[in-house]
Amino acid sequence: MNRWMPAAMALLCVATNAKSRELRVCADPNNLPFSNHAGEGFENKIVEQVAKDIGATVTYTWWAQRRGFVGRTLKAGICDLWPGVATDMDMLDTTRPYYRSSYVFASRADRKLDIISFDDTRLRQFTIGVQMVGNDAMNTPPTHALARRGITANVRGYMLYGDYSQPNPPAAIVDAVTRGDIDVAIVWGPLAGYFAGRQHGAPIVLTPVEPQHDGAQWPMTFAISMGVRKGNVTLAREIDLALQRERPAIAKILARYRVPIVADPR
């Protein structure tokens, strides 16, 4: 046998292992603009950018992003990374944020409503759409902000998850604005920006909610990070560094998907 053969085989194995590294990602298969099974969401694109940076190939565990998502995916050990989580999520270790966005008021441009605040007195007269998660304890901050002001009778809820048998169920609230079913909607910015840009009817105007906090309890802006299992410090650090290196590319992806970006208020 050629005495160089063992060394050559060893180098081949090292090269093969390097190429076969997987970045195991947990994601929702029907949750545009964030992710879908076809890889069309902006989180899909950002994950691909990160994986390329660290020399890995993305493999997905697809799971509907419902209650128990973390326990059935990350904590179960079937995937290692969840992109697009709130930076202060207690059940995960998270990277530094790679963008910050806001809830927005969405209305038809031809209405010229120009609403920016929950204290606008016209909100008591308009039909308002809000995103709903399920029960009162889990509803979105805008829903609570309206309720604090006694604005409830003219509010219509649109389930954040919607009919999962249909494509793009979260789009229903933006569609309702276009049709004129509601006067104004209060929608998480990335979702509003994406679906407003895909409307074929009247143009939609998006205005970030101000101020960025409604009292001490209800933030209207959130910093977004990537999350890993508690204690997986090595992966969190590696992803964090990749996110920093890829910041210009990520900014272009977010802009392409019309994600409203707001500055950190601190």
| Percent share of the chain, pLDDT over 90 | 70
For 12-62, the pLDDT digits (tens) are 444 444 457 899 999 999 999 999 999 999 999 999 999 999 999 999 999
Q: How far is CA 51 from the centre of its chain?
A: 18
Q: How far is residue 189's CA from residue 74's CA, in Å, rounded to a whole number?
A: 26
For 171-214, the pLDDT digits (tens) are 999 999 999 999 999 999 999 999 998 877 779 999 999 999 89
Query: Mind listing the domains of the chain with CATH numbers?
Result: 5-99+222-256 (3.40.190.10), 102-219 (3.40.190.10)
Instruction: Using alpha carbons only, give the angle 88, 36, 96 rounded to the nearest 5 degrees.
Output: 25
State the number of CA atoms in the 13 A half-sphere of 199 facing the CB: 26
End-to-end CA distance of the chain: 67
